[in-house]
Amino acid sequence: MTASLRQATSRDLDAICRLEQLAFSGDRFSRRQLWHLLNRANAETRVAVDETGRLLGYATVLLRQNSRRARLYSFCVHPEARGSGLGKRLLVTMEAVARERGSDVLGLEVRADNRVALGLYRRMGFRLQAWLEAYYEDGCAGWQMAKPLAPVVEAAS
């Protein structure tokens, strides 16, 4: 399954909303929240699309003014694209986005029962920081994780 990654636009809103409904049983973002992330928030969103333009995944990083810590706020891969390496590609891309925007740490929260995501984040260098009791709407606990981001090295001319 071939996918290309690009900056999300307002035109991606419907597809992102559909993917949220398909991929998550709870703790979904509303259309209004997703619109805000795409249009108003101090955030960067990337989408992964196949050759037909179908949305296979998306990720959003929140960036705070006067903070060197970015937050992977939303991360979603279409069920049909899971296991293809797309999640890793999206994560690497979002780490680069955060680094380019001046962040030196990328944090996230993940459901304690999401073993696949926990495995990916650990393989990618994220470390457990805090246990979040009853963090999700269904009462599931979560983990707060973080990864230091290596600084951007400028090539010598």
Residue 154 resides in a domain: no
Residue 90 resides in a domain: yes
Q: How many domains does the chain have?
A: 1
pLDDT band at 25 (very low <50, low <70, confident <90, very high): confident
Tokens of residue 43, six digits: 């955030």
Distance CA 33, CA 53 (A): 23
Residue 153 resides in a domain: no
Residue 156 resides in a domain: no
pLDDT of residue 23: 87
Q: Which whole number is the average pLDDT over 23-27? A: 83
Residue 137 resides in a domain: yes
Q: What is the pLDDT of residues 79-127, one digit of tens each?
A: 999 999 999 999 999 999 999 999 999 999 999 999 999 999 999 999 9
Q: What is the pLDDT of residues 143-157, one digit of tens each?
A: 999 999 987 666 665
* Residue 17 pLDDT exceeds 90: yes
Q: 127: domain range?
A: 4-148
pLDDT band at 26 (very low <50, low <70, confident <90, very high): confident
Summary mean pLDDT of the chain = 93
Q: Which whole number is the average pLDDT over 64-84? A: 93
Distance CA 44, CA 90 (A): 12
pLDDT of residue 27: 82
CATH number of the domain where residue 9 is located: 3.40.630.30
pLDDT of residue 101: 93
Residue 157 resides in a domain: no
Residue 51 resides in a domain: yes
Residue 139 resides in a domain: yes
Sheet containing strand 69-77, strands side by side: 4-7, 43-49, 55-63, 69-77, 105-111, 142-148, 127-132
